[in-house]
Structure 1
């Protein structure tokens, strides 16, 4: 079974970072950019994926999403290879 649960970090047009979970990254990013994604990203398009991780289970992916969301902006930038 291949990993189909993805945790991702987006860079938004206002230079903020958004972390989310999906089973189809390409579709989800398109939804964000179409204004149909999370409420947070609706006014911050376009967005671009700056980091993604595949996980074998939904539980593992959601745990990792929570971990990333708890990081400070500085630590998130380290994770995505920024500043």
Structure 2
């Protein structure tokens, strides 16, 4: 976010168990949201909340965190970037 000139706080929220995950609407770790909007557009309607590891589809494969492009697109979708 610093690279993009966005000076907003990042909040780290711990998830203790599946019940806590449901209450916090966590799709696994890491779940990254911008103004409540998940960085993965394919997961925005998902309700599979649980304490688990999360994977992201990136290019031709998968990885354990979203790509920079996903984060930038979500910032735009959430109105944080023009």
TM-score (norm 1): 0.27
TM-score (norm 2): 0.27
* Structure with greater proportional strand content: 1
Which structure would you say has the larger Rg? Answer: 2
